Amino acid sequence: MIESSPIQVTSVSQEVYHRLRRMITSGQLHPGTAVTLRSLGEALHVSTTPVREALRRLESEGLVQYGRRSVTIASLSAEEVFTLFQIRLRLEQLAAEWALEKVTETDLAEIGEILEQLEANEENPAQWRVLNQDFHRRFYDCADSAHLLEYIGQVWMQIEPYMAIYASSKSDHRDSNIEHRQIFAAITTRDLNALLVLTSRHLNRTADQIIHELRQVDSST
């Protein structure tokens, strides 16, 4: 269901962009869905001009694709998702290595608090997905590399709609949280080798499950 509350802000274009981006990355606008400027404008209670501006920004980010008469929410094949996860893995292993060199006790306490919230919300897909990203991002912030975090963020943005599908397809995230707890233990003990292995195992398992879901959908259509 598309958000329909009126927008009352100074920069309408900026707010439209943020709302549409959130709707795409949360899976509210499903990959492959065709939309029109008029339908989005009516749903958001704005004219088509700020919608057009927002969609052009989203197109540059790879989240939408323009056709002759409509705009389609970008859709990735199983092979493309696999490739993105391989890129994500390399970037996150580098971030983990750099972050481990600089992580402090204060950082560990904050990461541990997020992990506890993750475990408390393992049966709440929407909240779990947000906390899942917070857990990883908070650790990688310790790497103190704006460029590396920007690259990771770009890959996450492409994958996020599929993470929403993954999160909503599971009744709980107990297995993922066990892996998160193991990753946190490796961070706490500063065990780089274990951390790299666990990160690889965690991301590859997530990729496998998303790809399985995508192929299930493909086989049923």
**pLDDT per residue as tens digits for the range 10-54:** 588 899 999 999 888 888 888 888 998 999 999 999 999 999 999
147 and 62 within one domain? no
Which of 20, 44, 73 is the last residue in one of the domains? 73
Q: Who has greater pLDDT, 70 or 185?
A: 185
211 and 152 within one domain? yes
Which of 31, 47, 73 is the last residue in one of the domains? 73
Q: What is the pLDDT of residue 213?
A: 79
Taking the CA atoms of residue 104, residue 106, residue 109 and residue 115 in that order, the dihedral angle to the nearest 10 degrees is -70
**What own/partner pairs with CB < 8 Å and gap ≥ 24 does 129-134 have?**
129/163, 129/164, 129/167, 132/163, 132/167, 132/173, 132/176, 132/180, 133/160, 133/163
Question: Which ranges in 103-124 belong to alpha helices (H)?
Answer: 105-120
* Whether this model's pTM surpasses 0.75: yes
Most confident of 3-17, 149-163, 192-206: 192-206
Question: Does the pLDDT of residue 72 top 80, yes or no?
Answer: yes
pLDDT band at 132 (very low <50, low <70, confident <90, very high): very high
160 and 58 within one domain? no
Q: What is the pLDDT of residue 162?
A: 84
- Is 6 domain-assigned? no
84 and 66 within one domain? no
d(CA 132, CA 96): 16
pLDDT band at 5 (very low <50, low <70, confident <90, very high): low
Weakest-pLDDT range from 107-111, 114-118, 141-145, 173-177: 173-177
Tokens of 1: 């269901």
Which of 73, 88, 113 is the last residue in one of the domains? 73
Range of the domain at 169: 78-220
112 and 209 within one domain? yes
Question: Does the pLDDT of residue 124 top 90, yes or no?
Answer: no
65 and 133 within one domain? no
Q: What is the pLDDT of residue 186?
A: 98
85 and 187 within one domain? yes
Which CATH number covers residue 25? 1.10.10.10
- Is 19 domain-assigned? yes
- CB of 151 within 8 A of CB of 91? yes
Q: What is the pLDDT of residue 170?
A: 65
Tokens of 19: 């709302």
Q: Find residue 73's DSSP bridge partners.
A: 64
Number of structural domains found in the chain: 2
